[in-house]
């Protein structure tokens, strides 16, 4: 697929009104670069597993011919942990032998195995999401990498807009503890560190974050932070 089409697809994604239309547009474009496996998710550096919410997971990610669900992907794929270490889009390769699965970060994928491109999306709050694309024979040229990165970023922004945008009415005010924990999360503190500082359990910290999400009418902590900053509940 000509790389110039990536801009056209990005514009199409910007106008998408359903997750299905986003998926269709990404499939059509990415297949031209050899990708047939997709994972799209929101993320936060404050979470132990980084992954906040998976919007879309599709394809034979683990080479067993089976579709994979969100929990299985998060548990079995170690590539996500490299997002913060590298800070930009990167290629990876996975091979399988008698000892199990082996993942490597590579400059240019080649040879047998499943190869892929991990595209992190950063914003005012730091890491906000990522998309991973995979396939057995992918185009790893610089032009293809940049084109796939543009489409992946556009897909994330479109999916987040559709899935996580709260109602336009003013959110309910947060409690003092909810604001405090949300502000520390926005500053990059991990839940375990917040719990230790406040003398709370990890479960209690997560409960406060869950209540904050409910009050703000959003599905993820990252979106709760954005809404809280926008409404002056916490400082950006």
Q: What is the DSSP letter of 218?
A: -
Q: Within a 10 A sphere around the Cβ of 113, how many other Cβ atoms? A: 18
As a whole number of Å, the end-to-end CA separation of the chain is: 41
User: Looking at the structure, do residues 159 and 190 belong to the same domain, yes or no?
Assistant: no
Q: Which tens digit of pLDDT belongs to each residue from 112-160? A: 889 999 999 998 778 889 999 999 999 999 999 999 999 999 999 999 8
- Residue 74 in this model has a pLDDT that exceeds 80: no
* 137 and 37 in a common domain: yes
Give the neighbor-by-neighbor strand order of the sheet with 37-43: 51-58, 37-43, 126-135, 114-123, 90-97, 100-106
Q: The domain containing residue 209 runs over which residues?
A: 176-230
Domain ends where: 115, 133, 164? Answer: 164
Tens of pLDDT along 161-190? 888 765 545 567 889 999 999 999 999 899
Looking at residue 171, its pLDDT comes to 60
* 169 belongs to a structural domain: no
pTM: 0.72
Answer with the one of 164, 198, 216 that is the final residue of a domain: 164
Nearest Cα to 187, choosing from 92, 45, 35?
45
CATH number of the domain enclosing 211: 1.10.10.10
CATH of the domain at 125: 3.30.450.80
Evaluate if residue 66 carries a pLDDT over 60.
yes
Q: Give 3-state DSSP helix, strand, coil % of the chain, rounded to 5.
A: 45, 20, 35
Query: Are residue 104 and residue 144 in the same domain, yes or no?
Result: yes
């Amino acid at each position: 697929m000509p790389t110039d089409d990536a801009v056209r697809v990005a514009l199409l994604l910007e106008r998408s009104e359903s997750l299905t239309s986003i998926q269709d547009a990404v499939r059509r474009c990415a297949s031209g670069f050899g990708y047939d496996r997709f994972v799209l998710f929101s993320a936060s550096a404050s979470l132990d597993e980084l992954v906040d919410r998976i919007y879309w997971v599709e394809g034979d990610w683990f080479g067993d011919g089976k579709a994979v669900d969100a929990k299985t992907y998060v548990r079995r794929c170690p590539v996500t942990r490299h997002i913060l270490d590298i800070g930009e889009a990167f290629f990876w390769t996975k091979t399988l032998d008698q000892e199990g699965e082996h993942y490597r970060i590579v400059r240019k994928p080649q040879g047998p195995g499943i190869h892929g491109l991990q595209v992190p999306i950063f914003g005012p709050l730091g890491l906000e999401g990522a998309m991973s694309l995979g396939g057995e024979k992918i185009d790893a040229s610089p032009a293809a990498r940049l084109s796939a990165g543009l489409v992946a970023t556009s897909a994330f922004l479109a999916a987040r807009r559709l899935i996580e945008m709260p109602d336009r009415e003013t959110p309910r005010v947060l409690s003092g503890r909810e604001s405090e924990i949300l502000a520390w999360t926005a500053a990059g503190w991990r839940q375990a560190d917040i719990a230790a500082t406040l003398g709370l359990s990890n479960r209690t910290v997560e409960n406060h974050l869950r209540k904050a999400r409910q009050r703000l009418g959003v599905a993820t902590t990252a979106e709760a932070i954005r809404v809280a900053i926008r409404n002056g509940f916490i400082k950006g």
